[in-house]
Structures are given as structure tokens and as C-alpha cells.
Amino acid sequence: MSRELPGFHHCVGTARIVVDIVFRGLRARCVAGGGKLSLEELEGFYAKAIESFSSGAKFFETRHHQCMDASLGMTKMPFARNMILATLLRACGEHSAHGVFSSQIASLGAEWIDELFDGLARYMRARGGPGLEERLIEAYVSAAAMPNVKLTIGEFLGQEAVQSVLLECTAACERPNAPELIAKDVCDCVNKSIVGRKGWPDVCRIDENQARQFLALLPREVRGARRPAEVLAH
């Protein structure tokens, strides 16, 4: 089973549960009142709802522990606005990355992979605009608000809206001669992360041949990513 991930979806899920409880209470009051609620009744219901927080302490404590357990050992929030696209690209493409960039990964491991997909995400954003991540955030909140969902990368990748964004991102890779045409630009974005941001030696850069190989594989990985391997626990 995939590990549940850290992020504000825990808060969204809690909000959904609380809203459901409040709505059920209001609906019951409305039915009892013949389909009507007075302002006085609403204000009384509001006061009782606030008072009920103390009796819900066990529920809030459980939700807090779930969030803390998911965050244990994680220094980054994978669904943060500036990381969500890189997170999903990595979940889809890490298998191919290990094959294409084996020497770099052998030298620097998971941290190098982080920078690879961060650079790739920056390239995708530059081509597709900031709306890509806004759509992913909307899909993330919608998934988090569904009842009885423990959000994992696999669950999230199964969302139609998420698949749509990722397929849009990788569509350019499937055009005739696309890997050859965009390899240099992808190299520039990735190497800016790897060398410019980290100060790693030049040997850790990717080259255009590697970029071409990886870009040729990525669309297939995205289409087959309904049940990706857990990659964020590294």
C-alpha cells in the first residue's frame, strides 16, 4: 500500500468532515421546523456547533496524528504549489530516469533526482504557463475533499484532471522529432538546477543525448502511471 503523503489535503479532509456534520445538523433542524429555520435558530445552532469542538477533541487529535505521521521524515511538501508538478513528473518518470541517468544517480542519489524533476517541471511551466499548476492544485483540493479518501500519489494520479495536465505537458515530446528539437532547452533548465543551484560539479550535468532518450520515454511513463511505485519515501 502506498504511503499517505503530507500536505494541506489533511486540512481539507478535516474541513469536509466538519462541513458534513454541520450540514446534517442543519438539515435535521430544518426538517423538524417544517422546512424553515429562523435567524435565531441559526445563531443558536452556530453557538452549539462551536461548543461541540471540545467534545470532538479525539477526532481532531486523530487527524493531527495522521498529518504528523505522514510528514515524518519529510523535509519537503510534495503537493506544495511550487512542487506539485515536479512531484507528479517524478512519480511517473523516475523508473526511466534511473535507466537514462544511472551515472549521475549513482553519484548523488535522490537529491540529484529531485533537481532533475524540478528542472523538468520548470521547463514544462515555461512552455505551458502557470495555469498548469493551478489546475493541479484545483484537482488536489477536489481529491482531498472527497469523503473517506487517504490521498496517495497513486490515488492522485488516477484523477482525470491530473492525467489531462500531465498528458498536456508531455504531448510536445510525442511530436515528430520532438526529443531532438527540445533536448537542448530541457538540458538548460535541468542543468540550471543541478549546477547553478546546487554547485555540483559539471560531471553531474545531463547531456542532450540523455535528454533525448528520457523525453522519448516520458510520455509512455505518464500514460502508464495509474499505479506508480512509491518514490517519495526515499
Per the structure, the complete domain to which residue 157 belongs is given by: 84-223
- The reported pLDDT for the residue numbered 130 is 61
Distance in angstroms (rounded) separating the CA atoms of residues 199 and 182:
25
Confirm if 81 and 73 have CB atoms less than 8 A apart.
Answer: no
| Residue 3 lies inside a defined structural domain of this protein | no
- Are 111 and 63 in a shared domain? no
* Domain count along the chain: 2
- Are 114 and 157 in a shared domain? yes
Q: Of the residues 71, 105, 120, which one is the last residue of a structural domain?
A: 71
Confirm if 166 and 222 have CB atoms less than 8 A apart.
Answer: yes
- Are 88 and 171 in a shared domain? yes
Report the alpha-carbon angle 148-149-155, nearest 5: 155
Q: Which stretches of the chain score pLDDT less than 70?
A: 1-16, 53-57, 59-77, 129-130, 145, 147-150, 196-198, 226-234
- The reported pLDDT for the residue numbered 232 is 40
Nearest alpha-carbon partner for 207 in 194, 198, 196? 194
